[in-house]
Structure 1
Amino acid sequence: MAAAAAASSSPSQGRYDVFLSFRGEDTRNNFTAHLCEELRTKGINTFIDEEKLERGQAVSAALVSAIENSMFSIIVLSENYASSRWCLEELVKIIQCMKNSGHRVLPIFYNVDPSDVRNHMGKFGEALAKHEENSKEVMERVQIWKDALTQVTNFSGWDSRNKNESLLIKQIVKDILNKLLSTSGSDTENLVGIDARIQEMETLLCLASDDVRMVGIWGMGGIGKTTLVRAVYSRISYQFEGCSFLENVAEDLKKKGLIGLQEKLLSHLLEEENLNMKELTSIKARLYSKKVLIILDNVNDPTILECLIGNRDWFDRGSRIIITTRDKRLLLSHKVNLYKVHKFNDDEALEFLARYSLKQELLREDFLEISRAVICYAQGLPLALTVLGSFLFSMSKEEWRDQLDKLKSIPNMKIHEVLKISYDGLDFEEKNIFLDIACFLKGEDKNYVKEILDYCGFFSVSGIRALADKSLISFFHNRIMMHDLIQEMGMEIVRQESHNPGQRSRLWLHKDINDALKKNTENEKIEGIFLDLSHSQEIIDSSTQAFPRMYKLRLLKVYESNKISRNFGDTLNKENCKVHFSPNLRFCYDELRYLYLYGYSLKSLDNDFNAKNLVHLSMHYSHIKRLWKGIKVLEKLKVMDLSHSKSLIETPDFSRVPNLERLVLEGCISLHKVHPSLGVLNKLNFLSLKNCEKLKSLPSSMCDLKSLETFILSGCSRLDDFPENFGNLEMLKELHADGIPVRVLPSSFSLLRNLEILSFKGCRGPPSTSWLLPRRSSSSTGSILHHLSGLYSLTRLNLGYCNLSDETNLSSLCLLSSLEVLDLSGNNFVTLPNIRDFLA
């Protein structure tokens, strides 16, 4: 009763729950009187003209006001209803209010056939005919009345024929009361941003269409799916013959099972108690002729959809089914239209918080200060705004600042538990992928994340898709993103594995890692360590024996995030390293897949280095002179990156590294020798020797690299020449050789038929001459130009800053039939050549 009373204002304010429209001489002293009494008995504020109109007041104005200020209109369509011009005008006004302001219409066909009302037959036809015969009536007005009568039959209502009148009245009042309770519970006027979201939903639902539609509302936990669907239900439920809102279906499934859910659904839709599915044929058999609205909230199992809503042919025309879930795949498998709920923008979040602040006596500057902090933390998640706003605004400045600081390390458990539901629904491998992203890989390039996950033996494509479908991750410019609160939830799951950091699966905080190393205890549960030293001054000592006890360690990354993109020429002294790599450093390599050691201070890896499962090895800015001595068996290694290892003098023996795909030696300024075993790397597709200033030659064996697609030699300022059989690199697509001093290309160069991008930028010869292209008078057939002529796939050629001039013969460039971009900038042309002559 209290909820119903709260939905309406007192009569003195002119606000009503229900307006009764009826033909007085037919039902005033019987059916309508009994209905009005029952409505009022249930606390439903009801308008009926004989008691509410004051003497001397204009009847029409009073009725219009009463209709406009009522939530519902009950129209008792008795056999003489249409004979009253006054009743028909009431009906027209009611229909107008329904269209303009969401007023709800509920017809009762009192001892009349609804088809007579719809088709203007029987008593209704006779009454309308008399109105037409009356010369005083305007024909246009009669047509308006007819249209109103037709429209009212489209609304869900009641047929009194062959019904127990007392039971019928109880059923009507019960239905009205339920509608009022759901309306008062939604309180949509006080919901921030709800109107725009409801409009988007109504567009998807397309209520004017008579087909059967299913719409899925999808989004992360706490984003407001249930709030939105309650508001939609409140707004549209009156238009259906039967309605059911099953809230938190996932929880009900645990308690009641599928049969219990089916019985609950049918009880709502058929308004019958104690239904037994064993005695029913099927949901379809009971509902195929009934226009219904069904809302299934928080669905987490496709079986629920199969058993409760099956196919669209289970329901009558005009039925609508709405599903809320965190799992996009569940909706896609059932082929429903999707609506993704988006988080609050900053303006909406500020408006939301303002309502909490109104309950407290806050100075304006206090409100803005705390609001900015809360908005930053919540990142538009309504759940977080609700939880934090409910108590932070009642605290002193000192208290709420302390609480916000606490949240940085200890998440609010109300928020945590709601978000964790999505994590609990993942399988074992998906949980591991989620935790790796939350603890280590958030914000990284999607392809990079997939590579690391694949290294660990996970099925990255399906795993990442599962997390995205459950709104646990998103994508932005091909980077994997995650809401900060979801990331906190993931990190908290790891923290709760043990009070002892050494007994957790993943470590990322400097303090926890140092603690695990110093205690030197069993660390057999640690699977990953990512240590960012950018904001730490403490030196970590790796001489500990903790690493050999990390039997499950598969990911190890020691890095400085603010120095990963160092400019060439930066120096890294051993004294500046924040990790002291001991000569006695040992690892348990059995499960190690990914090893990234920034600023490694030793001259080589230890002799016992035997990472048989290692896939990725990066050692940027290391002090290594030789990576290892002799031969190492690393048959799973795919990536080796020793960028800016300025002490490296030669590459290791690659004889037992057959699956290497990417080798990066950029900025290794002391490198003067590439081991001949390079040629065994028949899967290598990327090789960078950029800025290897002391490198004078390339081993002839490198021309056996049948898979090489990208080769970077730019900045190799002492390179004498290319191997004679360079043209054997048949898969080569990109060659960057900017600033190299090579004077002659091998004759085999023209065999690079798949080469698409070639850059010789800055390859200058002596003043007034060009080594690259002959003068017009030259008859040299050994020129560089001659060897470019066979590059039929070449689309981009950069000859900028190559000391070319007007005397340079460019006509042979016409032989490059696929050329699209030619860069001749920075040369000595007085008259610019006609570039169009050289482009395809």
Structure 2
Amino acid sequence: MEKPVEPYYEVFLSFRGSDTRNDIADYLYHSLTNVGIRAFRDDEQLHVGKEIGPELLQAIKQSKISIPIFSERYAESEWCLMELVQMVECKEKWGQEIMQIFYDVKPSEVRDQIASYGKAIRSHITKQLYTDETIQNWKAALNKVGSLKGWKLKQRGKGEFTKEVVQMLLIKLKKNSLAVSNCLVEMDNQVDKFMEVIGERTTETQIIGIHGMGGVGKTTLATIIYNKLSADFYNCCFLSNVRDTKIETLQDQLISKVLRTSCMSITNGNEGITEIKERLFSKTVLLVLDDVDQKTQLDALVGADECRFGRGSKVIITTRDKELLKGVDFQHELIKMDFKHSLKLFSKHAFRRDNPPAEYVPLSKKALKICDGLPLALKTIGSLLNGKERRIWEITLKKLETIPNGNVKSKLNISFEALESQEKEIFLDICCFFVGYDVRIVIHIWDSYKFSPEYSLEVLEQRSLIKIVEGNRLWVHDQLRDLGRDIVRERANLKPEKQSRVWNHEEAIAVLQMKEGTKNVEAICLTFDHQSRCFFKKEEFASLPNLRFLQVECGDLDMNNVRHFSFTNWFRRNLPTLLNLRWLSWSKFIQYFPSTNSFQRNLPILQNLKYISWHEFPIFFQFTAFSLVKLAILDLSRSKITYEWEGWNHLKMAKKLKVLNLTGCYNLHRTPNFSDHKNLEQLILKGCYKLVQVDKSIGKLKHLVLLNLEGCRELQTLPDEMEELKALTELRVGRTSITNFPEWKGMEKMETLSTTYCKLLSECNLASCSTSLLYLDLSETSISELPFGNFGSLVELNLSQSSLRELPDLIKTMKNLRVLRMSHTPLEKLPGALGLLEKLEEIHVDSCRNLCGEIPNEIERLSFLRILRLSSSRVSDIPKLPESMTDLYLEYNVNMRCPNLSNLLNLRVLTLESRYQTPSCLATSLDWIGGLTKLETLWLRYDNPITLPSDFNLLSKLGKLKLCVHQLECPPRLPQNLSYFVIYGGRLMDNAVINLSYLEKLSFFEVYNCVQVQGLEHLKNLKELRLSCLVSQAKLLDLTNSKKLRRIHIESCPKLVEVRGQLESLEDLTLFNCKSLEKMPNPLSFKYIKSLYIDECQKLEEIQGPEVSENLRVLCVGDLPLLEKLPDLTNAKELEGLKIRRCPRQVEIRGRLESLKRLEIWGCESLRQFSDPSSFKELEDLIIRGCERLEEILESDEYRDLKKARILTESRISRGWWAGSHGENVPY
């Protein structure tokens, strides 16, 4: 059977096999695939004939990024040259990126075809196997790619180099986002105010605080900001509920998420601080700390004095306590909702519409006054009144009016009191213990109640007291959680020993040790760590006869503190008293027990256990210790159990078992026999990556609703008996090695099917379950045809990165479809039947390179369509789009006519790209843009001349504008609320200039290859400025008024002579290739300066000042022929990196450099000494080259401390270190 061609790649590797196949190419290929990047590695067996075959051609065209590895003999291969020509064509036609590696050659050798490259080209000419035109194409491609910036590998460590390349690629390809409330009402103003300050795509490090009273919407705002920024960060982490989470757990989550590792098992806060400092100092991180209530939490995670993360990191803190935000870069107070938005939010919950019925307007206004603009109160009280008759409204509002404003909990308590007793108890359980738990698991602890817990949960959700969020997790607002816990305390007259639920560790220990617990105590939670010195002694639980919930977490318990303790005796004395125990959960607890058979045989039996959670279960311990007769849930995640484990026999007693979770049991190669577990509803085998066989007895599980096999990467087949799973509603088999789905006729209740990243899956028969499916994910598979069936219930269909070429007629049967994803497929046409899908909200067809013809006119009928993404296609025409559109991404091609989008009055985000100079788009007029008054973000990329409308400045909501244009005719006055403005490559007609003087809110400005910019001296709120390739820019750059500037990057501005201004807030400064620059304020004296990079400024004579800033961390200077000396650096007590290159007049490095870790000096032939070499106590890495006078004296005893550092070659100094957290990226 012919090997199927991968439908889509992210990276194409081109290399000369004999040079690099078993070297850097192999390093890179495996490193990319290991982190999930789909890379195509050229196989020389595909080299047949003189033309590129269809498989290679397709691989190059479908890749996002091409990486040619230029080695010494690369150009000897005509195949490598043909691939390179194809890459250049894809770059010019489709905008594909080329990121080349210069392996053992110089860029000039490739660009100019000299040395080995010239010899290779001459050899091809002599052989006369190819036409002159082909040879010229090869030379042109070498010249174009050789002129681009790229990585230089020569003499660098391959492991370090590969890591750097992979990280950059991950950043380019990565996306993150979190879900937000589906009843979001007009957070826009708050978001805009926030983004004006924080900016977007800024590269400065910022710590921002959001404060406000509980229930005002801080978490929602933080989530929206996180989603807006996350696309630009590779390292993202959202830590929720900080207030109620142990510091060690938070530190562990932070490190694990950023480094993408398993848990670090942090045992104490000081250890966590050290780990964060050492592991994350160079990482650029987006971090949200939600609901902080203590300064110690900030100190342990972010740092007491300064951010512990890399340059460009953003930390967002939400808190009710404004005092905690002292010292942050910016504080944002979240204000209450105004009347208009309050009414809309209240109406959504009270009436399920945007406005109240006329007869309820007076009562609604009364309710709004009571809620006082708090979103939580508006939602909760609105939900309470939903569906109630007018009399109940009047009674309830009368009660609420007696409660003073500001007493939010008392108002929310009205909703609690309106619940039935069972609903109250379930709500209190959730508030005390179950926030974040899977509702499908915990529901079993409530199944002894008179009414079904499902109904009670539905009531709680309808009343807006809880939410069931992504992953079926229970979520409660912190105000409501506190309300529930306060109710428990008040019921017990504030006496922990009389509480029904004890969740606080210290209170729980006190209750147990003093034996003051009463029959009221039903649930208790204990959390021990390495510092715990008090532990159980004797019959602590004897006074808790009604205990039904026991959770014990030990973390890394210090056995020196408990070595005298007999676990065996404690169990024997205490467990017989827990006759009503139903929920038993421990972590790393039983591993401290002795592994004797007598101990296990003599353990008492707990007759009522329904839940056992035992992560990292020790293989020696058997379940004979417990009765499993009533067991409903067993969680043995991350345990070392195998197929041969003896415990499977005892587990046969669990006839009522409903949930079996074996996540991450990596030693399990086949499942046990399931014949004795006919009541099983959930079977989770996620991440059992050695699993190769699922026992055929799975067919006997008639009640199974969830089967999760994600990440069982060795699993190739599923048993035929699975067709007997008639109750199955959710099947997840992503990232397995299955090749096809057999025709399972019995699965008629299937709602969710995910096969994502099953690269070998080419067939999928879904006829029997198609009518019930709601979510179908066939992304990243080899499926080329949509499975046959009637998908009338389908809500979301994901076909992205599959091999699908066409949508069949059956698409018209998907009447309930809301989201259609087909990105990166070989799809050739969109059918008119799409217009029949009346509920469709999103269509994603970006990077469908084979898509041609016209988008069907029927799409105008889709009155709910909000999002359309269309790029890298050959579509010739765009019809009129529906007015409901809010987000449009459209990339023109050579055949497409530019549409008029003036009817899209609800657009908020618009991206238009045209990378071709085409007759259909010449002198493109965009007059209609001025009418899109709701527009917030506008990105335009045109290779044709464009004209912006004269009323462009009236777009009052436009905050972000990016223009990548070949020619801009008569730039208009810009919208004055812009906070983010980028313009690339804009040649202005009639020598016009861009005037920024009136953009008072502008915080980020970047310009590249433009003519001239004016008005920079008026930008008082500017925080980041990037100027590149401004050939006509004025000689003087006056930044005197820009006192908030933190980051400046100026590159290739040949006429710039002077930079002026006292830049008090500046942290990072880069000046590169400004050949006329003579004067500038002394950056080393700026109080907050942390990194300074100055290179190729040949007329700059000095970098002096009265005193160097003590905050300076990195100093890099190079190619400064007139620079004779640097100032004394003694005061730079934080200086960790110093790089001096090609400064021929530099004689001495002055100062005590006690913190210096990395030192690089080369090409400084006059440099002969350090004023105090004995101060280099912390030096780790050293490179000195081309400094003959200095090298002569390095052997003396005076320089013995330098010899302790690693003596590295030029390339071994990590470019990632210089660039990561300490300043501007050096051009690579």
TM superposition score category, shorter chain reference? 0.3 to 0.5
Larger proportion of helix: 1
TM-score of the aligned structures, taking structure 2 as reference length: 0.29
Higher fraction of strand: 2
**Which protein shows a greater Rg?**
1
TM-score scaled by length of structure 1: 0.41
